Amino acid sequence: MKISKKILEKAQHLRQQIEQHNYNYYVRDTPTVSDAVFDQIFRELASLESQYPELIAPDSPTQRVGAPALSTFQEVQHRSPMLSLNNAFDEEAVAEFDRRMREGLGLDQVTYAVEPKLDGAAISLLYEDGVFIQAATRGDGTTGEDVTENIRTVRIIPLKLTGEEIPALLEVRGEIHMRKADFIRLNEKQIAKGEKVFANARNAAAGSLRQLDSKITAQRPLSFFAYGISECQGLTTPETHDGMMALLKKLHIPVCLERDLVCGLSGLLDYYKKMSLARSSLPYDMDGVVYKINDLKQQAIMGFVARAPRFALAHKFPAEEALTRVENITVQVGRTGALTPVARLEPVSVGGVTVTNATLHNEDEVLRKDVRSGDTVSVRRAGDVIPEVTGVLLENRPASAKAFKMPKNCPVCGAPVIRLENESAARCTSGLYCPAQRKGAIIHFASRRAMNIDGMGEKLIDQLINKEIVKTVADLYTLDIPTLSQLERMAEKSAHNLINAIEKSKKTTLSRFIYALGIRNVGEVTAKDLATHFGSLDALIKADVTRLENVFEVGPVVAQSITAFFNEPRNRDSITRLRQAGVSWEEGPSLSTIETLPLSGKTFVLTGTLERMSRDIAKDEIEKAGGKVTGSVSKKTDYVVAGAAPGSKLEKATTLGIPVLDEQSFLELLH
């Protein structure tokens, strides 16, 4: 049926009215029509779309009711990483941050954009030509989950941007949260329905965001504040963070009204104090404030470190505390084998969260605080997240209170527990067998720099462990296509590819295999040093602490880690099974012959892109020839190998007078 121009214009007018009313109600908090009038306009649009289905578009307000339930979330690769923030818990840390910014920029005073740090869930929103097309959770910062259909139901988020100039592409970063009043009403409804109440607004918001059925999300009163723009195309963007926020506001994307601009350290601390006093009266939960350099060019100068920007800082509020009783102290075994004492508590509400367990960190902390079963203790949520015991009320200690003793054997697998010199944590020695360490051991074993089993992701590993198909890393080499094909999201072709990747991984190097074993304190560099020194795995397994300490940069702690690992029979059994499955490598030269290799004793730094080989292969070739590769240029560097588009390492090498090799010269030297 052909739709007349009059009908099209009417539908468009109704949509614009509804979105404006949504904006007035949810963003400006100043509704201009009654609920009855709003409902009448909404019903009129719904009736029109029912009569003319061709009118229905993804950005129509009527599409906020939710879509059919999903079986799982699809992964989304972020266009740029969603980074976390470094935290500060006192004024000294803030002063240090301000000092670094001033010195890094060469300024006497820096202007900062400041805003509340909302207690919610980070989200990325993508708009094309002003129309909302995708939403993704933060995930691991690089890859998130596609929650587009859930976000469509959040009425405060516009499905279509409003403004005189609309960008061709806009990616917005922000925080999904739940206002305090909405959270209270939600729990009242839960109680009325006889359903479980939520512990706090943050959990309610995060849980609502990750519902596979978006119709459930549509029933939850979620809210949103944008805190930045990660990409904008087709529009000249402001040169400051504050200008970016003003642009978002013009586009009718909600931003926090309590943001501000301040100058210098005094401005930062004054804002922190102001928001701390206002915290209880604000309509949303916050666990601190965020400071960012306002000038975007200055942000670029300061750059990033690890997974956080240097130009920003989260200043957290002091954690809330409460008193309760320790019912028992148990031991939890982590993914790395660390044994952590955990206080099992009488349930207590801390910062709006019901706490039943609190970490005691390690044996030394238990003894220092003298925490015993039966004690009355103060509990806080460190950084408003991890519950911990902060002190004991000794005057309330009962005569029956029991002191804690760290077990000598792992409570999960029974293997011996050791505590290395200068380490605070006691650890299970059965890294390849212990069920508590199983997932971590397999993830590490299959990782790219270890056995490099392409396709062996965390979700697949979860399935293999949960179905008890894989109990140790050796079981990976018993997998077959029929077994894999029965798993979720694993079609026959994917199963074939994974089996091929497992088969390919059987041919490896000794250093990679040592690294893949996940021995405590043995990283890639130490694994290569061990492979070079001993030449064979059997020689390494037989080595005692004294012989191990003869290896370059292997001290008593690393030597004890290695001997403890190989002294555990179940670890040796897993290694035997791996070798029987066909995992093999070329035995390298022993220490007695290493000095005859062409690059013996030479230190290299690689920079830029090589045409004939990857940087990893170049690194392996250098090490096979007796050389060593480091990540930074110093006076001890013998050669810098420079490929296409070299970085600052080339400039430093030139300054220090270190020989620079192009790819051809490098290959000639290598061979």
Q: Helix axis angle, 569-580 relative to 556-567, nearest 10°?
A: 70
Tokens found for residue 584: 């093999």
> In the annotation, is 117 catalytic?
yes
Burial class (CB in 10 A: 0-12, 13-18, 19+), 550: exposed
The whole-angstrom separation of Cα 419 and Cα 417 is: 7
Name the strand (E) or helix (H) holding 393: none
Burial class (CB in 10 A: 0-12, 13-18, 19+), 199: middle
Question: Max alpha carbon distance in the chain (Å)?
Answer: 90
Under 8 Å between Cβ of 221 and 182? yes
Q: Where on the phi/psi map is residue 406: left (φ > 0), alpha (ψ -120 to 50), or beta?
A: beta
What residues are paired with 525 via a beta bridge?
A: none
Tally of CB atoms within 10 A around 160: 20
The whole-angstrom separation of Cα 374 and Cα 343 is: 10
Given the residues 117, 624, 628, 649, the one annotated as active site:
117
Query: Could you tell me whether strands 639-642 and 603-607 are parallel, antiparallel, or unpaired per DSSP bridges?
Result: parallel
Query: Could you tell me whether strands 639-642 and 660-661 are parallel, antiparallel, or unpaired per DSSP bridges?
Result: parallel
Q: Where on the phi/psi map is residue 117: left (φ > 0), alpha (ψ -120 to 50), or beta?
A: beta
Residue type, 131: V
- Residue whose entry in the numeric block shows the structure tokens 């018993």: 478
Catalytic residues: 117
